[in-house]
Amino acid sequence: MTELPKTFDPAEIESRWYAHWEKEGQFRPDRPGAEPWTIVNPPPNVTGNLHIGHALDNTLQDILTRHARLKGKDALWVVGTDHAGIATQMVVERNMALKQQKRTDFTRDEFVAKVWEWKEESGGTITQQLRRLGCSMDWKNERFTMDPGFSKAVLKVFVELYNTVKPDGTRLLYRDKRLVNWDPGLGTAISDLEVETREIKGQFWHLRYPLEDGSGFIEVATTRPETMLADMAVAVNEKDERHAHLVGKKVRLPITGRLIPIITDDHADPELGSGAVKITPGHDFNDFEVGKRAGMKAGEMLNMLDAKANVTQVADGLIPAELIGLSTAEARKAVVARLKDEGFLVPHVDKEGVEHDSEPRTIQTPFGDRSGVVIEPWLTDQWYVDAATLAQPAIEAVRSGAIKIVPKTWEKTFFNWMEGIQPWCVSRQLWWGHRIPAWFGPLKTDDRIMDGTGVFPTKCFVAEDECELKKQIEDYYGSDCKFQVADQAWAPLFAYLEEHSVNSGKSYSSVTLIRDPDVLDTWFSSALWPFATLGWPDDVSSNPSPSGGGARGGGCLAEKPASRTAPPQPLL
C-alpha cells in the first residue's frame, strides 16, 4: 500500500486530474438528445496572461457550466483566443529586434508567417493557465480568431455592411477622411479605449494674430503653439461683443503668412481667455467639428504631421523649410522662439509682476496604452462603420422592454452611450490581422467627373472571394481588360495606378489594382465570436455537433483546420 503524503500538494494533484479529465473528453458536449446549453468564453489575447479579472470571470462561467451538466444538459463551454493585432505584432517585432531584425526587412507574407510561428510556439500560455485554473472547457474545439472558418465570417460581415446602402445613399461601412487617435510609435490608428490620459506639466501660450488690413491683432491662447502652422481659422462666439466687428475679416498668420478667416462658433467660450480660439481642424477633434460647421471639407483641411509625428509640408506649401522634419517638441520650441522674436508672443505676467513666455498649466495629455507615446489627432483615410444606425435596433429593444437592463438604473448610461455613439474606425495600419477585402483601381474616364468626394479618386472593389472580385473587375473594365494586383503603399497610389495601367482614351486595356494594405480592428472580428465559433455563416441547421447532440457546431466547430501555421493566401 502506497503511503499517503504528509502534505497536500494541490499543484501535482490538480494538474494530474485535469489532464486525465481532458484526455477522457469529460468536458465535451456528449449527451445526444439532451437539452443543449452553451456559454462562450470572451477570447483572451493570445499574448496574454491570466489576471484576477480572468480568474473571477472564468470561475463564474465554470460554475454555470458545471451546474448545467449536473442538471443533465448537454453543456458546451466554447474556448479560444483572440489574435490581438497590435499586441501580437508588438511581441513578434520585439523578439525580432533581439536579432537585429525589423519587420520591414521582410515581405508582408514572410512577416505574417513569423507571427504564425510565434503563435504555435509561444501563444498558448493563457490557455495553459485556464487549464491550471480548472476551467472545464471544450478543448477539442478550441478556436482562434484567425482560423479559416472565422476569417470567412469576418469577410462576409465586412462585405455585407459595405454593400448595405441606406435610403440617403450612404453605406453602413465606408471609407472616409476623418481625425483618428494616431499612435506615432505603432504607426496606426487606435481606439479611444487604447488611449490613456495623463496629467503632465505644460504651458499656455498667448499669441497675437495680426489682422489682414493692419488695423490690429486678435489674441488666441493655446497649449500647442506648433499647430498654428496648420491653422485654418480663428473662432469667436457670436454673442461676444468684443469681437463682433472682426467677424468676417481675415488674419495673416505669423511664420506662414497664410490668410485665415475669423468665424463664429459656440466652441469659442467668451469666459475663457480672450474668447478667441485658433482652429486647426487637422489636429484637434473639437476643431475638426468646428471646421466642418464652417463648411471646410475634410480633404481641404491641412495636415502638418507625418506618420511619425514629425512636421511635414502642408498643401499650400507655406511652412518654412527649416521646420520640416522636426518633432512636435522641437517644432514647439522653434515656433515659440520665432513668435517671440517677431513680436507675436504675448508675455505672461505672474503674481510677482515677472514676465514669462508662457503660463504654467497642468495639461490632460493622451498617451498610447501600449506604446507609451503621445497620441496625435491625425487626419487620415480610414474605414468606418455607421455605428449610430446599427445601434438603433438595440436602443428600440431596450425601450420596448424586449431586453431589460438590470438594474434599471443603468438604462440612462446605456442610452447616453448608444445615442451619442460615433462612427467606428475599423481599419488598422498593421500587417497582422484580417486584411481588408478591398481593392483599388483607376477610375474610367467617364467616371472621373462624377467623383467629387476628394477622398479617394479611385474605383473601389469589395469582394468576399476571388470569383466575385474577378466578376466586379470585368463588369467595370470589360471582360477583355487584363488586370494584375500589386503591393503598394498608400501615398503614391493614384499616380502608381495611372502609370501601370494602359488607357486607350475611352477604356482601359490593362489595369493594375492595389489591395488595401490595412487590417481590421481586432474587435471587428471579436464581435463575431459568439456566432463564428459555432459554425456561422455556414448552414448548420442540419449539421449536428460532433457528439450528435444538437445543431450547434457545423463545419467550423466540428473540426480544426488542417493547419494553423500557414497564413491565409491573399486573393489574386
Which domains are seen in the chain, by residue range?
27-155+521-558 (3.40.50.620), 193-368 (3.90.740.10), 387-422 (no CATH), 438-515 (no CATH)
Angle at 176 between CA 529 and CA 174, to 5 degrees: 45
494 pLDDT above the threshold of 80: no
182-186, 273-277, 429-433: the lowest-pLDDT one: 273-277
Ramachandran sector of residue 454 (left: φ over 0; alpha: ψ -120 to 50; beta: rest) = left
Residue 224's SS3 state is coil
Tracing cell 508675455 back to the chain, one arrives at 347
Nearest to 133 by CA among 220, 41, 68: 41
Phi first, then psi: give them for residue 336, nearest 5 degrees. -60, -45
Q: Once rounded to an integer, what is the mean pLDDT over residues 336-340?
A: 97
Helix/strand/coil percent split, the chain, to 5? 35, 25, 40
Q: Once rounded to an integer, what is the mean pLDDT over residues 3-12?
A: 84
Nearest to 376 by CA among 454, 307, 471, 434: 307
Nearest to 472 by CA among 462, 485, 483: 462
Q: What is the number of other CB atoms lying within 10 angstroms of the CB of residue 462? A: 21
The pLDDT of residue 451: 45
Q: Confidence class of residue 493 from pLDDT cuts 50, 70 and 90?
A: low
pLDDT in tens, 57-112: 999 999 999 999 999 999 999 999 999 999 999 999 999 999 999 999 999 999 99
List the grid coordinates of 71.
442538471
Specify the DSSP class assigned to residue 257: -
The pLDDT of residue 563: 40
Cα–Cα dist 270/236, whole Å? 8
pLDDT in tens, 164-216: 999 999 999 999 999 999 999 999 999 999 999 999 999 999 999 999 999 99
Phi first, then psi: give them for residue 377, nearest 5 degrees. -65, 120
Residue type, 475: D
The pLDDT of residue 458: 80
Q: Confidence class of residue 551 from pLDDT cuts 50, 70 and 90?
A: very low
The pLDDT of residue 28: 92
Cα–Cα dist 477/481, whole Å? 6
CA-based torsion, 112, 113, 115, 119: positive or negative: positive
pTM of the model: 0.87
Mean pLDDT for the chain overall: 89
Q: Ranked by mean pLDDT, which of 12-21, 30-39, 305-314, 498-507 comes out on top?
A: 305-314
Identify whether the C-beta of residue 567 lies closer than 8 Å to the C-beta of residue 106.
no
543 pLDDT above the threshold of 80: no
